[in-house]
A = this chain, B = another copy of it.
């Protein structure tokens, strides 16, 4: 199996950040890394419970917060009142459904090349740029249309 390399890089990653690598942190980080659906803390908690019996919700929140602080993951920008996380730290863009609040990744080299407007870079230190397309996903369009018929 080629998974040992991943394990190694996980340990190196944490060591480089100066944070102890616990089982909880490893599994939560690996789980988030394998997903691309920008889960909430609770969704992570659910899908990790079988691998971490007795895991506390509190720990999930604390681990995610610590990973954000360390720069290993990010909290994404989205409408709505629940924090969502993303382990993809490469530049990418987002498609946001205003109805169901789903967030879908979008890769585009054209958009990646966006220049930072002058005037901004003076006081503000830009670390990343992402383009948000907001609107209605296919499912929600359908729901809306059928609702209009009724």
Contact = CB atoms under 8 A, between A and B. Distances in A.
A112 to B, nearest CB: 11
Interface residues of A, number: 40
Interface of A: 74-83, 94-98, 106, 108, 110-111, 114, 116-117, 120, 123-138, 141
26 contacts: A75-B79, A75-B80, A77-B78, A78-B78, A79-B83, A81-B81, A95-B120, A97-B124, A98-B127, A108-B117, A114-B131, A120-B133, A123-B138, A124-B133, A124-B137, A124-B138, A125-B136, A125-B141, A126-B133, A126-B135, A128-B134, A129-B131, A129-B134, A130-B131, A130-B132, A132-B132
